[in-house]
Structure 1
Amino acid sequence: MRMADSLCRLRCLPAQTGSQTVKERGKWGSKKEFILSVAGALIGLGNIWRFPYLCYKNGGGAFFVPYILFLVTCGIPLFILETALGQYTSRGGIMCWRKVCPLFEGIGYASQIIIFYGSISYIVILAWAFLYLFSSFSGELPWATCNNTWNTDSCVVLNNYNATANWTSLMNASSSVIEFWQRRVLNISTGIEALGNIRWELSLCLLLAWIICYFCVWKGVKSTGKASYFTATFPFIMLAVLFLRGLTLPGALHGIKYYLYPNPARLADPQVWMDAGTQIFYSYAICLGCLTTLGSYNKYNNNCYRDSFYLCLFNSGTSFISGFAIFSVLGYMSQKQGVDISAVAESGPGLVFIVYPQAVTLLPWPQFWSACFFTMIILLGIDSQFVGLESIMTSLTDIYPSQIQRGCRRELLLMLICAFSYVFGLLMVSEAGVYILQIFDHYVCSGPAILLMAIFQSVIIGWIYGAERFCNNIEDMIGYKPLSLIKYCWLYVTPLVCSGTLVFLLLKYTPMRFNKSYVYPWWAYCIGWFLASSSIIMIPVTMIWKLAKGKGTLWQRLKTSSLPAEDPPVMAKEMSSISATLHVCRGGKNDNIQ
């Protein structure tokens, strides 16, 4: 009892770093908060607008063959790697690499730069969704009529328009829905060189989105975990409602057939395999440091290995189910309008802001269904956004704990980051904003940068730190080793598959275009490649800096900087034991997450 009292008193003492007092690093309040936060980070707009379209486009049910192959060889192994690495080191996306292999600390910096760029651009989609949501609360949906100030003389209400033409063409058609999107929401200019004015309604919606994100993150993992109870669960309720409603519509089975009808011949097309691989990286948030950050707030003996399998299956299952919800409505649209479903099946913003708004105008109580849909879109996006912001704050706090955790400095730093991101994001709510947004999406948030990060991560853990050593670390946390398949994926399969995918991407490279017709000026491509390289360049820059400040010969510096900085779990295990003892002292039970 005397020992327990001593530990209780020790637990109440703040940690010391030099002359500064550092607060204890936070933990999830419960396992539910971790699961919901990760689910919220993973399940986003890509599950709703990208996966169903890719499945339909690339062979229906046959698309699951390459999708599952990439999931097993890349998605799940990298998901386990990042989550376990964060939990083992109890550090975020930067410091975890300093712990296991200081030479490649630049991977952490690169991932945080990608998250920062992505957060500036991704949140603009939420601003669009807020504007649609607010527009839903009107006597008549504004995109369902041609009697508005922004409509042209050639505007057509498609509810009564029956033709076989591809009326969903973004630039050529003049439907009321497209005119609302192009002329009211975006007021899109002729090109990126014509920046135009800032859309003041969108700027206010963007400000609202940043304010919500700020208050979801401002108290750290405590506020992030609590916010996830709502932001990660309500979208699934809405998705279930839309799913059940969609199945009751006439023509729903026709749409689902288009979604799932297997076409094995499509498997001979290399692009199908590329789409499957990029979808795994896009929807699983791997190589961005988010999973490492969220895992770092787990207790040391949490079964992160089992959690990773459940979360991966949950993510892919949500993508699959969302296809039924979306394509059942598209099948109804096809029958209602008398056009082929291929004319209404769109990916990306075309589905969320053109096709589905058109679909809700065909339903009874369109304002209600519109509000439900865009509420779901906002909540799907908001938790992905604030988890990325939490990752950045965690990484900065891990590097400068004594400077940031004192007083209200964390809240002030977070406010500065949000304010700077908002000001920069105003460019993307200008009349040329959609052109700028596509540059960020094409060059930063997908493509070669993410594949290079995956290759580096798997090689570092598999060959430099050691796959067997990392499996032993996981065993120390959860009591047993991962499957041998996971280890061999880290060693061989994942880097080879990612390398092959990267080579194919480079060989098939074509300049980015907007709506397949607008060609960007040369300087826009330069900006895109600068954004892509500004993150990856951190890896060699950090390596050079580490070697330059080291001592001894070049080989000795390489060897020293490749060794783990210290035994990462020592402090985590001690704190877990002290926390459990404190709980017992207070009359509770050991509530370590199993």
Structure 2
Amino acid sequence: MADSLCRLCHLPPKTTSQTVEERGKWGSKKEFILSVAGAIIGLGNVWRFPYLCYKNGGGAFFIPYILFLVTCGIPLFVLEIALGQYTSQGGIMCWRKVCPLFEGIGYASQMIIFYGNISYIVILAWAFLYFFSSFSGQLPWATCNNTWNTDSCVVLNNYNITANWTFPVNSSSSVMEFWQRRVLRISDGIEAIGNIQWDLSLCLLLAWVICYFCVWKGVRSTGKATYITATFPFVMLIVLFIRGMTLPGALHGIKYYLYPNPARLADPQVWMDAGTQIFYSYAICLGCLTTLGSYNKYNNNCYKDSFYLCLLNSGTSFISGFAIFSVLGYMSQKQGVDIHSVAESGPGLVFIVYPQAVTLLPWPQVWSMCFFLMIILLGVDGQFAGLESIMTSLTDIYPSQIRKGYRREFFLLLICAICYVFGLLLVTEAGAYILQIFDHYVCSGPTLLLMAIFQSVIIGWIYGAERFSDNIADMIGYKPLSLIKYCWMYSTPLICSGTLVFLILRHSPLRFNNSYVYPWWAYWIGWFLAMSSLMLIPVTVVYKLAKEKGTFWQRVKSSSRPADDLPVMAKEMANICVPLRVSDLDRPEQQ
């Protein structure tokens, strides 16, 4: 009766309220929106999407991109945000509540995030080094008068190059030498680890300190940090966009970026690139979105928020293409080379092409600082979102052990320290080789595709797409589109399975810069890293079945059953008052 009176007077039960206060909620809806925007809008929007669009048919690339967005990206995005909000649990406990048999999906996703935290933060260390170097009187990569330069160094701005601009005959550019001989100090192979570079290790430490203090108070600090880390990159992107569009030759670059070539749609690789870009840039299947959604109020319209955030993500990718290719068009015209000679993706764009481009602009130090500050903030957002996901998962499993006193801060410090120590391998002379191993095997398309298949099948068929639609309706007042439900059941698992099969059939051994072949043991390390996360799913299934009693089918059914208190727990954990219906007053208390 006490709980009913609490619902009648719009007060939550006392014990539940205390639990919710310990876990915390977003201070406002803005904090949730900015946190998710920071988690999903990252380097992939800047260094991957524009190049893929240019390479795969310009404007025609939007056809497969939008198809994958509608059938896979948005449905999975809605699924994860809504799942976190409904259960008020992080990336592991949410699966224990809806389908205990596949709790291993949560463990696998957190393991992938852990590996990602170790590896991707080294990009922030590189960006910090470039950012600090931008304060010099002359950009160090714009000259050949440095201690790391060789006799074959050339300043490309002084040449009218007709070949590949990064490698003139018997020469190497000053930008390339700064990247390889000053920043990476790259060795001959992964077997030659070499020494830890003290400057990069300090930049890496700085990145971890920033991430720690963004997360150390949970959503109270994470939400406030995003007011800067999630908004400032948009300001920088708009500044770079305006500056790029006013440069001579900008329209030449935009033409290459958007001019449609429908013939490219006949190439299956174009469709694969569109699918992998959706998974790469939307942060789905990693548990981050579930964690961020779990701090929402129960009746927040997560369905509408998801559409707005997806639109923001894809719109940012589209606009960043103008900012990037307008500068590349100017660079192409200034140096007298074709656009394909300067268009590049990934780290090559951020640390080779764009640094070269800013040397052609007036006040190059200012534009270099703006660009790398944007890169740093884009990376920091995604990094501390992953860190928050790990901490939320741990505190949800062991709330009484971690949430007391300063234990959360201590555990967070311990995780950051462990990741930093492992990350020192990536700032050695073989760090670039090791990073590619992590990127290719751990956070790659096949791994995320398998996670997407598992998630959509579990929600669509085991838990029930109709039941989950009813859960969303219970939160926001109406059901999602039937298209979303059918995507969970059919489109998403089928399309992801087809994409996975294609990637397996097209598999080829990993190479560094298309030339260096890794030793056999490096490939085994890569497969070990990939399987160490995915194997947690079948291992957990076996453990759950072994723990149950009865026949095999009875064990499967009992371990697949959602938690009995899921709806009640979800509403109470969300710290809202469920209005008491008039008819309830005439019935005896049921609980």
Q: Which TM-score applies when normalising by structure 1?
A: 0.94
Cα 1:408/1:173, change in 2 over 3 Å: farther
Residue 556 (str. 1) matches residue 554 (str. 2): yes
**Which secondary structure state, in structure 2, belongs to the residue aligned with residue 24 of structure 1?**
helix
Query: For residues 162 and 499 of structure 2, what CA distance do their matches in structure 1 show?
Result: 38
Q: Could you list the per-position Cα deviations for residues 241-287 of structure 1 after superposition, in whole angstroms to 9, with x for gaps in the alignment?
A: 00000000000000000001111000000100000000000000000
Q: Tell me which residue corresponds to 1:57.
A: 55
1:362 maps to which of 357, 360, 367: 360
Give the structure 2 partner of residue 292 of structure 1.
290
- The 1-side partners of 2:127 and 2:275 are apart by 28
Any unmatched runs of 5+ in structure 2? Answer: 580-591
Q: Shift of the alpha carbon at 1:160? A: 1.2
Give yes or no for contact 1:513–1:519 (8 Å, CA) kept in 2: yes
Which residue of 2 is the match for residue 589 of structure 1? none
1:176-207 CA distance string (max 9 Å, x none): 10000000001000000000011110000000
Matched, 1:132 2:130: yes
CA distance in 2, matches of 1:562, 1:458: 15
Equivalent-residue separation in structure 1 for 2:216 and 2:497 (angstroms)? 39
CA deviation string 1:495-522 (max 9, x = no partner): 0000000000000000010000000000
The amino acid of 1:530's aligned partner reads F
Q: Is the 8 A contact 1:49 1:351 kept in 2?
A: yes
User: Which letter does structure 1 place at the counterpart of 2:505?
Assistant: L
Measured after TM superposition, the shift of residue 13 of structure 1 is 5.5
> Are 2:521 and 1:523 equivalent residues in the alignment?
yes
Trace 1:87-126 onto structure 2 (pairs within 5 A).
87-126=85-124
**Match of residue 37, structure 2, among 36, 39, 44:** 39
- 2:338 aligned to which of 340, 350, 353: 340
Q: Partners of 2:517 and 2:440 in 1: how far apart?
A: 14
Structure 2: distance between partners of 1:10 and 1:54: 51
Q: Which residue of 2 aligns with 1:465?
A: 463
**Structure 1: which 5+ residue stretches go unaligned?**
582-594
Q: Is the 8 A contact 2:32 2:292 kept in 1?
A: yes
Aligned to 1:591: none
CA–CA distance in structure 2, aligned partners of residues 15 and 71 of structure 1: 39
Distance 1:172 1:354, change over 3 A: farther
Q: Is the 8 A contact 1:99 1:565 kept in 2?
A: yes
Q: Any idea what SS the aligned residue of 1:372 has?
A: helix
CA deviation string 1:297-334 (max 9, x = no partner): 00000000000001001100000000000000000000
Structure 1 pair 171–323 and aligned structure 2 pair: CA distance change class (3 A): farther
For 1:197 and 1:471, the matched residues in 2 are separated by 55
1:199-348 equivalent positions in 2, closer than 5 A: 199-348=197-346
Give the 3 Å change call, closer, same or farther, for CA 395–483 of structure 1 in structure 2. Answer: same
Q: Find the aligned partners of 2:106 and 2:267 in 1 and give their Cα distance.
A: 35
Cα distance change on mapping 1:309 and 1:8 into 2, 3 Å? closer
Match of 1:85 in 2: 83
Describe the shift of the 1:374–1:481 C-alpha distance in structure 2 as closer, same or farther (beyond 3 A): same
The normalised TM-score by structure 2 is 0.95
CA pair 15-159 structure 1, distance change in 2 beyond 3 A: same
Q: CA distance change for structure 1 residues 73 and 468 in 2, over 3 Å: closer, same or farther?
A: same
CA distance in 1, matches of 2:61, 2:21: 49
CA 1:578 to 1:337, structure 2 compared with 1: closer, same or farther past 3 Å? closer
- Of the three residues 385, 388, 391, the one matched with 1:390 is 388
Deviation at 1:566, TM superposition (A): 2.4
1:323-362 CA-partner distances (Å, limit 9, x unpaired): 0000000000000000001000000000000000000001
CA distance in 2, matches of 1:331, 1:378: 25
1:159 maps to 2:121:
no
Q: CA deviation at 1:553?
A: 1.4
Residues in 1 aligned to 2:20 and 2:303: alpha-carbon distance in whole angstroms: 31
State the Cα deviation string for residues 30-52 of structure 1 (Å, max 9, x = none).
00000000000000000000000
Residue-pair matches, total? 576
Identify which of 137, 141, 144 aligns with 1:143: 141
Equivalents in 1 of 2:33, 2:554: separation in Å? 42
Instruction: Please tell me whether the aligned partners of residues 256 and 328 of structure 1 are also in contact (alpha carbons under 8 angstroms).
Output: yes
* Matched residue SS, 2:508: coil
Residue aligning to 1:482:
480
Instruction: Decide whether the 8 Å contact of 1:7 with 1:578 is kept in 2.
Output: no
- Give the conservation status (yes or no) of the 8 Å contact 2:71–2:487: yes
My pick for the range that moved more, 24-33 or 229-238, is: 24-33
Letter in 2 for 1:511: P
Distance, in Å, in 2 between the alignment partners of 1:93 and 1:575 is 16
Does the 8 Å contact 1:22/1:402 carry over to 2? Answer: no
CA contact (8 A) 1:293 1:394 kept: yes
The offset of 1:555, in angstroms, is 1.1
Q: In the aligned structure 1, how far is the partner of 2:340 from the partner of 2:7?
A: 70
Q: Output the CA distance in 1 between the equivalents of 2:69 and 2:171.
A: 38
Q: How many Å separate the matches in 1 of 2:570 and 2:144? A: 63
CA, structure 1 residues 171+354, in 2 after alignment: closer, same or farther (shift >3 Å)? Answer: farther
Change in 2 beyond 3 A, CA 1:576/1:105:
closer
